[in-house]
Chains A and B, each alone.
Chain A
Amino acid sequence: AQTVTQSQPEMSVQEAETVTLSCTYDTSESDYYLFWYKQPPSRQMILVIRQEAYKQQNATENRFSVNFQKAAKSFSLKISDSQLGDAAMYFCAYRSANRDDKIIFGKGTRLHILP
């Protein structure tokens, strides 16, 4: 069975600095998708970024980028120029490309932005 592990329950970063959130996963499949979701205090789940496992190039969305290491089964999220609005719970998630559309979530990392 696939698992997703986020080893950092909480992190803090100074405003305008860069922070990296870690995620590792376990799977025997070769084709899958990885996601980072953001959950602000409003509790809405917002897709931040996604990565296709067959693509070697790391995904980037404005200030958000990932470091995808397929062999190491690692999928970290880097947030550059951190802003107060980035404060939220961040969830790493995995979805197989070979089955139905179930997503497996990590337990989350709470990110605090220090002014």
Chain B
Amino acid sequence: DAGITQSPRYKITETGRQVTLMCHQTWSHSYMFWYRQDLGHGLRLIYYSAAADITDKGEVPDGYVVSRSKTENFPLTLESATRSQTSVYFCASSEYGRETQYFGPGTRLLVL
């Protein structure tokens, strides 16, 4: 189906482990984004990408790594997970020059 998907939808991991969250969109949107959502903070931007091989930091990038080798994929990696990274993670995309972002269903991550 067309749209933006995230996997896994739920993940439990342990402190210190590496975790990769996947994001895939079928619209060929230029821009892709990763947000985290925490109580009391709303949504905060972690990283974004304007095109393949172009990424930039958002508001809270520490502890995260992204890559974008293909336009449709934008994986987010937690290199060494910490409890403070327990959150709900949203991926989003938008067309170049268009203001509206479309969100994936989210990934709930629990770090023990």
Whether A and B are associated in the same complex: the answer reads yes
Q: Is the CB of B43 within 8 A of A42?
A: no
Q: Is the CB of B42 within 8 A of A91?
A: yes
Contacts of B108 in A (CB 8 A): 43
Q: Is the CB of B99 within 8 A of A106?
A: no
Contacts of A103 in B (CB 8 A): 33, 45, 101
Given the known A-B contacts A43-B88, A43-B105, A101-B94, are A50 and B99 also in contact in the complex, defined by CB atoms under 8 Å? yes
B24-67 interface (Cβ within 8 A of A): 31, 33, 40-45, 48, 50, 56, 58
Q: Is the CB of A43 within 8 A of B99?
A: no
Give chain B's interface secondary structure class: strand
Q: Is the CB of B99 within 8 A of A95?
A: yes
B contact residues, range: 20 to 34
A25 at the interface (CB under 8 A from B): no
CA distance A43 to B108 in the complex (A): 10
A-B contacts, 24 listed (Cβ < 8 Å): A37-B103, A43-B88, A43-B106, A43-B108, A44-B103, A47-B100, A47-B101, A50-B99, A91-B43, A97-B99, A100-B31, A100-B56, A101-B31, A101-B33, A101-B48, A101-B94, A101-B99, A102-B33, A102-B45, A102-B58, A103-B45, A105-B43, A107-B40, A108-B42
